[in-house]
Structure 1
Amino acid sequence: MAITVREAMRIGGLARCRVAAGERGLDRAIDSITVMEVPDVVQWLKGSVLLLTSLYPIKDDEAAIAQLVEQLHTVNSAALAIKTKQYVQEIPQAIIEAGNRLQLPVIEIDPEVSYLEIMTPLMQLILKNDEAGAGQLDSFFKWITELAMAGKGIAAVIEAVERMTVNTITVGSDLSMLELDKGLKPAPLTYAQKNELQAAKRPIRMQRLLNGSPTPCIVTPLLINEELAGDMTCWQTHRQFNERDFIVLERTMVLIALEFLKWLTKADVEQNYKDHLLSEVLLGQVHDQKAALEKGRAFGWDLSESYDVLCIESQERESSKRGTTGALHGADRPEWKRRLLLSVQSFLRVEPSAAIAIWLKDAIVILRPRNEPLSEARDASSKPIRTWAAAVCRHLTDVYEDMTFTAGIGRSHPGFDGIHSGYTEAVQAIRLGKPAAVQGCIHFEDLGVYRILTPFPDKAVLEQLYAETVGRLADYDAVHHSNLVMTLAAYFAQNCSLSGTAEKLFIHVNTMKYRLQKIEQLTDGGIHNAERRLLLHIGLKLHQMKQAGIDS
């Protein structure tokens, strides 16, 4: 909807400006607005444009200044608005004279009035016309760029885009301060939809649930370093989509992604401080507990409370390794780690307790304040954290369908020092229990005899026991490329069933008999002697600890 210059002088920032020349042309219509950023901008102008400028591109070119109004008049521009006291102290006399002669309004912009104060209210009126032309599109892109550059934020840019598309727009992200749902309930993107957006790298049509109802929409990927950081979704709530909507959303995509990058950079800096503090606490490397507690309070944490500690490790499914699914991640990539941590934090946001999550040594570590009192009945007291850890793993599996997640959980220990103890046990649980449970939750309490072996004070005794038992089998395997250790572990797992073990290992019973004879020979008849068999069991546990990198 075009408006006249006369009407525009009563709106927004222009109401605080004055007409310096060309008053007889105040009834000229304005259908778009642009900013003069380069000397030859006039040749690209089309239609009834209001040109905003500080004259900086031509401030030292007297000939260009003298010709400016003439050029604007030739292309049927609406008016010229000049910001003074910045690069020129006053409007040049040549421009005043040409404006009066050609009846082209020349407006002096008050030094305290920003371009945005002029552009925003005028563009809002102009965009009431549903069929915006190319000139209006150019003005719109100038407007939203000014909004972004002026630090007005995501909400202001999205509001402007809604006026152009005449439809509702939401922004999705794992970072809470970047989400913009306007009180609506958009369904989260599925893993397949995220893969599609990642591959497309442009706005695409979809159908998603909005407030529980299937709704056509255009979903625009917000990419940072070619990684999907969020989405901008235009919902068909008021009118049918047209080709212009795709152009608008694609141009807006970069500005919103830059806003994401700004916030993510800020969040990364803060997360680094959190990671550093908690790493010292978890690893037991704090030299000044009082100072650490004070730093924790600055982040809203009370590290003197009792926490349950769990570690979560991720692993690609075999189908993903074979390339049958999309690759939205890479375990060694910072963007993947950031996104996985944000996914965990988005889950934690709905928690009534203030849980904490960080990355430490290729695993996500979560500290959850313990609401239940510690009790002697360990099985009963560990049930809530087991249930909760399983829910976290399910959430991550729903988000990352080609990954599996395993959680190791430490026992609950009181106070500040208990955080280190709980973390140590969580690491041991995941390293020692993971081979037996590829996906799921392993509590330190489930480790059985490992709970005695890991804190055993005399490591030399354990080393000697290992060397006299399974260590002999491991040495034989290394030299002869055999599988005696694996065979013994499978034999015990099958409750010493000869045929059951052979079937499990896909070998002939006679082959199984030969291997057991060799094990008997190397271990001094350990299999059939109860005392020696117990030592072999312990030797296997020590072997697994060595394989897991845990010092025995």
Structure 2
Amino acid sequence: MLLKQLLELPILKNSKTLTGSIGLDNPLESVMVLEAIDIEKWSKQHQLILTSFYALTDASMDQVRLFFKTMRKIGVSGLVIKVDRLITMIPEWVIELGVEYCIPLIKVHQDVSYEAIMLAVYEPLLNHQSHLLRTYYEVRQRFMKVERNRSSFDQIMQEFFQLIEKPCFLSIPHLDIHINKGTTFEDYVVIQQYPMKNIEFTKNRYEYLHLFSHKNNQAITAVKVDILNPFNDLCTLLVYQKDAQIPESKVMIIENVVDVIYERLQMEYLQKKERYTRLNNLADAILQNTPTDLNELTLLLEEANIEQYDFYQAIAFSSTNFEDKQRKDLVLQKLHSLRAKHIFFEHHNYLIFLYNFQHASQQITKQTLSKLFDFSILEKEKASLILSEVKRKQAIKEILPECLDSIRFNRHFYLAPILNYSDLGVFSMFIKGHQLDNIQQIIPTGLYHLWENEEDLFLTLYTFFISNRNYKKTAETLFLHSKTIRYRLNKIEQLLEIDLTNPIQLVNYEVGTYLLELKKRSQSK
């Protein structure tokens, strides 16, 4: 209700507005009788204050001015002053304060009771509240049928569209759901956005969006609400309309559909979580606790829907940022896209995908993964993407050990972010025998000393080996003169007591040099 609507009622037909048209459009939400002028302690915005001038007679002009100033600050909608036989005139200076602080002053006669004014204000407010609650209840009854039938998001939005009678749009990116009902507004851009004032009986936060289409040279308003959901993703509902504001009764309809969508999201989440747990356990049973009975394994593969073809290959992923959910979801999305037939399970510090395909030639390669993943990011995270060997069903039990062994080796001796199990070569024997820590025993003591204390000499020796023992290429790689390289290598021969021209003698030293370089790379990462 607005103040001017109150003044049009018969009960106030003999009242007089002393401040002209000031504040007549102020909304009224409550009424209070003035007992003391310290209204900052009890008054509130959009309130109508009732008083007799007696409440102000003992106050000084400064106190009354402060009283008006405080009313203005709070947002009081108006001041009704009741006169009686003792005080029939309101001082001109009080009226001037009302004009100065934009507080409407209404004079009423003594025969108009405070109770009558309160009833005049509260009756339409209560009727309006009753209407909103009734609307909410009726809409809720309709949506309960939708919930009982476990309707899809599209069916929910269709019911909502019929009730709201306005174009609407629902976006749930996590489920790849984008539903539009009624006119679409794809060419419109947001030019202004601000919160909608809360109304009674709402628990969600709404925003108004002003949109404009340069193509159509048209503007429109949208009501936006973000729906909380267990997927921790942005779920948005939009309702479009031509008017700048939406009726409160329509907001009650939106409140209901938000509840229904939230309940449906909860159910989707629980179902997805249950399915995830079931498939995770199933993948665990196939890869980690592989049955020795081939028939039992076949049944598990059939349940996972990956028994159609003869060949299997796994990809394992491990990273220092494994707990980063957003990063993990991105990796999952990419690995999901590789093959239609797959299953995966997640451990506390790695995840592994098992793929099923028809021909061995269809195996996933390092080249395929290098197109999907950024090497620099993988190296920064000290990530490992491990490709197992291609296996038939009878050898599935070998897949997980291959992947975990490769991850373990890459943590100690960092080869590369993307590895085939076959890249480990002879070192796989140490891992299989759980002798990874003993690999260092094959490194000659003198070479270890060189690595720890003579960095330039070790780098020269390593570069010499990776340059196929070519002096000129070693010098070019290190940007040094070939005489410097020969001098350093002669010194290395003396320190290590070896002959660099004897290939048999150099086997342990070359392997040891590579291991120490990988260990250094692992430590730096």
Q: TM-score, normalised by structure 1?
A: 0.47
